[in-house]
Amino acid sequence: MAASGRSGRLAVEVPMPRTILVLTPVAGGGTAGEILDGVHRTAAALGWHLVVVQTSVPSRGGATSAADVRLAVDRADGVVVVGDTVARTYAEVLAEGEVPVVVAAERHDDALPTVAPDNVGTARVLVEHLAEHGYGRVVFVGDLADGAVAERLEGYRDAVARSGLQTGEQDVVDAPPGESGGRVAAFFVLAQEDRPRAVLCATSATAVGLTRALRAADVCVPEDIAVVGFDDVWAAESHDPSITTGNHRWDVLGSRAVELLAARLRDGAADPGAGAAAPPAPAVVGRASCGPSAAVPDEPALDDPAADDLETTILTTLGVEGRSRAAREAAHDLAQEVRAIVDEVERTGAEPQTHAFATAMTPLAEVLVRPGIMYGVGLAVGAYLTRRGQRASTEIEPMLRMMRHRALGAAWHLQARRGAQRVNALRDALHQQYEVGAALMADQEQAAELGWLASTGVPAGVLAVRERDTYVVRGVWDPRGRVGAARGDAVAPSAFPPPGMLAVADPAHDIVLVLPVGSAEGERGVLALVVPGAQGAVGTTYSYWAAMLASTLEHAELVDAVGDERERLGLLALAMRDGQWEWDIETGRIALSARAEELLQLRADEVSDWFDRVHPRDARKLRGHLAAVLAADGPASFEQELRFRSGGTYRWLLMRAMTRGRRPGGRDPLLMGSLADIQERKELEEKLEVAAMYDPVTGLANRRLFLERLGDAMERHRSRGTEYAVMFLDLDRFKLVNDSLGHRAGDELLRAVGERLGETLRPHDIAARFGGDEFAVLCDRIVPDTAESVARRLQEALTRPFEVEGRHLWVTASIGIVTSPNRHEQPEDVLRDADTAMYQAKSGEAGSVVHFDESMHEQALADLALYEALRRALDARQFSVHYQPIVTVRDNHVQPVRRFEALVRWEHPEKGTVGPHVFLPLMTETGLVVPLGRWLIDEVCRQLAAWQHTVSDEVQVSVNLSDPEFWSEGLLGYIQQSLARHGVPASALTVEITEGVIVRRPRQTLELITSLQDAGLEVHVDDFGTGYSSLHMLHRFPVDALKIDRSFVQEMSQGERTVALVQAIIAMSDALGIEVIAEGVEDTEQMERLEAMGCTSMQGYLFGRATGPDGATAALQREPVGSGLLDA
């Protein structure tokens, strides 16, 4: 398509907005995921809405009826079909209905406009590349039944013949698609006596699988065997070693499909086959898998005059990445910025700022789909700097050489950072999958209502179930009321999803994703979600949600079915043919119907030993039933479920028997009955019983079973005086395992802990898992005084290392103990007090053991009452803001007040003003501090706005952020909204955090601090010196100021060691350009001594206590006289 100007904007005159339907086999991950990324990127640039319909259920494979019923076609202005998503006839029907259709696939479709790679040409250049690097024999691996692979094989054979390479019968290996095919191919390659030097894989996924299998067999890649893939996917770039591929990018193919569709919408092409989009010229993307020389991009030749045109050089380096408007503009800006930096250096001779190149390159790195090309950009910049240096003076040339190294370092750093961001996104997606699964399982009855979407950030969702030829809405997630759909609405498939979903979706960022909800049992309906459009590898998250939803709905229906099973069996028995049997007690003759013989797996002449085949636990009861019936004088009957051995296993049968008593003459009675097969029902009941009573991860008892056993123990204690003890265990720092190794490793560790507990306890004791990392132990028939020794034995068992995924992990547990002498009415009361004691243990040293006493319960009740009061106080706005001045001292004179620290107070209706030490610890622990902090930020912004109009526009206020506040979602956005709402500049607000926040999650802290500063806010470190950080922290984290804790200021008069430490902090901060604020200054001697050390910013009672807004306003308006500014 045509492009306008340098930016590469598509020259398309299309009315906006358009709605494009995308039919894809899967919603993310792999080839389809990358095609979708490209489709969304280009559609977003055009302002188009995307409705993406996943046409297959992963557990079933193939296309579902989602395509056949024409989902979403009513509002589709055009259709993009990904691969073999739907039958060709359906796509042709869409095209005949004047809806333009474009296919994005691995090979061309003659019947429809198709965007596909040059399979033959790309395979040819890859073989020629290997031949040029001295590889004399190249083997081809791929799924030969695939049409696209057949085209690539054609290119391979043509290139082998042209290059004169060695050929043999084993040079083409037919292997399944994907990584599994690579593992299969490795077996054939390694089995050859004359192993090939290089392997060309038809897909990069196969190349990844082959490389892993070769390395597992101690074959070095590329030293022993070089491996080359075909498509330039993310997995090829990120693999170790990185895989050399062709230049075919699936996301670029997706972009080209939208471009072709835009042309058809603009030109109104009538010919369904017209308008094929030509792929880029085949080329090789060299990486480490075919030799170390290909792992790093080449630096542009210094003798090439074109190297002076930096923008062109960068765009050449970017290749297909440079096609987007954003990339072109960023490349242009980078070239301009680099030229300006060099011009300034040559003009002034001054060294540029250390981060100048990182700052200049960041915009380009942020818009690239693949950050792996950034080092090549760095080389292009380096070549430009080198050429400028060759023409520069002898004084400037060394500086330009140094700048080249900085540019390369900045490029490496940006490339690594983008890679880390992708890994973090994958980790977050896995975590969210776990949370969604847990939410669905926790509330299965309401799963269809879609309330579980509340924790996902998805703004809208609709679940509809299939009823004949229409869909009926069963669940709606619409917190903002914009979807316009309600439960019970009937929607035609072609009109689904509801039009309000498009209103919620922002075309620049979102898509409407439609997923089939079903399993191997069949399709149940469809789930429509508004989600971010750029999915990549994490897009499979939403397919997982749909699969989990389907599983949850099926499970709920299964539970309902079990309740009806017994009644249904009773009714069906009248209509079904059960096995019939007859036993003449007098003669011993037994007669069996054919169905009875089938159930018993016995013939009538073999029944004499049938009692031997009844399960021992059922045989005694059966003999008792028979004896009672035979002894009856009149009619009698019985019914028994029993297990009968059939072959090597037991099978559940339902036996019914009846007799009319002894026959005339006192003869023994005739016994008659029936047999019914109840094996499936018993298996279902057993599964449900296990699910209801046992933890699925560890196999231990769950809360329900534990409470039943505890209730039994309590009853024995009341009736017989038998003692018991309950221990509540919580693993210390278990969250670290989940955060660092993932939930699969965490579950493995939990299973191992459960096994270790079971091995340590006596047979009649019971261990249970309640969820997360919480366990409970019931020791029955125990001397209470020995309970602590049992707890210590459990801790000792857990201290031995656990081997999880090849790692040794050490675990400690905090334990709370309750023994039977405590007076409890219900099992829940015992657990409550054991839990209270455990939390008391957890507040001390890791691995502590604490016995419950009544004072703990009283404290828990007091905390609950305080919590409820604080919730009411938040609702009633009973909090106020006080302001304590932060002053500047020069020559022992206090300068006019322009800074404050905001401190919160509780204006209790009965107790008056309450200090933060009373309520902040509990609010921090329970999370209430987050809404309190949001209110405080907005109130401070309101006060700043008032001061700007009445006093000064230079006032600055610091706000403390606790750990939960700092990590709360949307913090920066909320601050910016408050500043904008009140018209206050960001420079007027400062946020203060403690050292504990920094050392707990240093990497994420650095990112958030940088975001806050980029938004114009200052970041200060409060109470410096009391945490776990060091002076080295000041160098790593770009904070604007630190506040020396008041304890250091107060102790300066008590010893020179404290004075030396304060001097060191001030000197180090001064060297790094970080302001120092001294807290707790209470007398003039401290003030003068601090100023002499170089600290001129201070805070403390000497200058004034915290006061309300009126007092702070007075301080701003008053000229300072000595100290005591707010008390004057």
- For residue range 502-514, what is the model confidence (pLDDT) as tens digits? 889 988 888 999 9
What is the rounded distance in angstroms from the CA atom of residue 993 to the CA atom of residue 1016?
16
Mean pLDDT value of segment 718-746 = 87
Burial class (CB in 10 A: 0-12, 13-18, 19+), 816: buried
Band (pLDDT 50/70/90 cuts) for residue 1097 is very high
- The mean of the pLDDT values for the chain is 82
Output the pTM of the full model.
Answer: 0.48
CA nearest neighbour of 79 among 14, 28, 15, 23: 23
Indicate the range of 86-100, 635-649, 1035-1049 predicted with least confidence: 86-100
Burial class (CB in 10 A: 0-12, 13-18, 19+), 757: buried
Cα 1030 from chain centre: 32
pLDDT over 60 (residue 301)? no
pLDDT over 70 (residue 558)? yes
Cβ partners under 8 Å of residue 105, min gap 6: 81, 82, 83, 84, 114, 115, 116, 148
pLDDT over 60 (residue 1030)? no
pLDDT of residue 576: 58
Q: How many CB atoms lie within 10 A of CB 217?
A: 12
Cis peptide before 17 (omega within 30 of 0): yes
What is the rounded distance in angstroms from the CA atom of residue 602 to the CA atom of residue 881?
87
Q: Is 684 in contact with 654 (CB distance < 8 Å)? A: no
pLDDT of residue 562: 67
Mean pLDDT value of segment 100-110 = 77
pLDDT over 50 (residue 580)? yes
What is the rounded distance in angstroms from the CA atom of residue 100 to the CA atom of residue 78?
5
Report pLDDT digits (tens) over 357-408.
Answer: 888 888 888 877 766 778 788 888 888 888 888 888 888 888 888 888 888 8
pLDDT of residue 425: 65
pLDDT over 70 (residue 1126)? no
Q: Which residue do the tokens 């975590």 mark?
A: 431
Mean pLDDT value of segment 873-883 = 91
What is the rounded distance in angstroms from the CA atom of residue 282 to the CA atom of residue 121?
6
pLDDT of residue 823: 74
pLDDT of residue 616: 85
Both structure tokens of 834: 């054991």
Cβ partners under 8 Å of residue 324, min gap 6: 8, 41, 45, 255, 367
pLDDT of residue 654: 85
Indicate the range of 385-399, 447-461, 676-690, 915-929 predicted with least confidence: 676-690
Between 1055 and 760, the more confident residue is 760
pLDDT of residue 227: 94
pLDDT of residue 1043: 92
Q: Is 461 in contact with 453 (CB distance < 8 Å)? A: yes
pLDDT over 70 (residue 537)? no
pLDDT of residue 69: 52
Between 910 and 752, the more confident residue is 752
pLDDT of residue 1098: 96
Indicate the range of 240-254, 749-763, 1088-1102 predicted with least confidence: 240-254
Between 442 and 135, the more confident residue is 135
pLDDT of residue 201: 94
pLDDT of residue 1085: 92
pLDDT over 80 (residue 1064)? yes
Both structure tokens of 111: 């019947």
pLDDT over 70 (residue 1123)? no
Q: Which domains does the chain have, with CATH numbers?
A: 14-116+253-273+443-552 (3.40.50.2300), 119-230 (3.40.50.2300), 304-423 (1.10.490), 577-685 (3.30.450.20), 694-852 (3.30.70.270), 875-1117 (3.20.20.450)
Report pLDDT digits (tens) over 333-342.
Answer: 999 999 999 8
Band (pLDDT 50/70/90 cuts) for residue 563 is low
pLDDT of residue 452: 82
pLDDT over 50 (residue 1106)? yes
**Residue burial 92-119, b: 16+ Cβ < 10 Å; e: rest:** eebbeeeebbbbbbbbbbeebbbbbbbb
Helix (H), strand (E) at residue 139? strand 138-142
Report pLDDT digits (tens) over 341-355.
Answer: 988 888 888 888 878
pLDDT of residue 10: 39
What is the rounded distance in angstroms from the CA atom of residue 917 to the CA atom of residue 904?
10
Mean pLDDT value of segment 173-200 = 90
Cα dihedral 148/150/155/161 (nearest 10): 170
Band (pLDDT 50/70/90 cuts) for residue 15 is very low
Between 471 and 1, the more confident residue is 471
Q: Is 513 in contact with 447 (CB distance < 8 Å)? A: no
pLDDT of residue 92: 61
Indicate the range of 76-90, 183-197, 214-228, 560-574 predicted with least confidence: 560-574
HSE toward the beta carbon, residue 1101, CA cutoff 13 A:
5
Report pLDDT digits (tens) over 110-150.
Answer: 667 888 888 899 999 999 999 988 888 999 999 998 888 99
User: CA distances (Å), 588 to each of 629, 636, 661, 671, in order?
Assistant: 16, 19, 16, 11
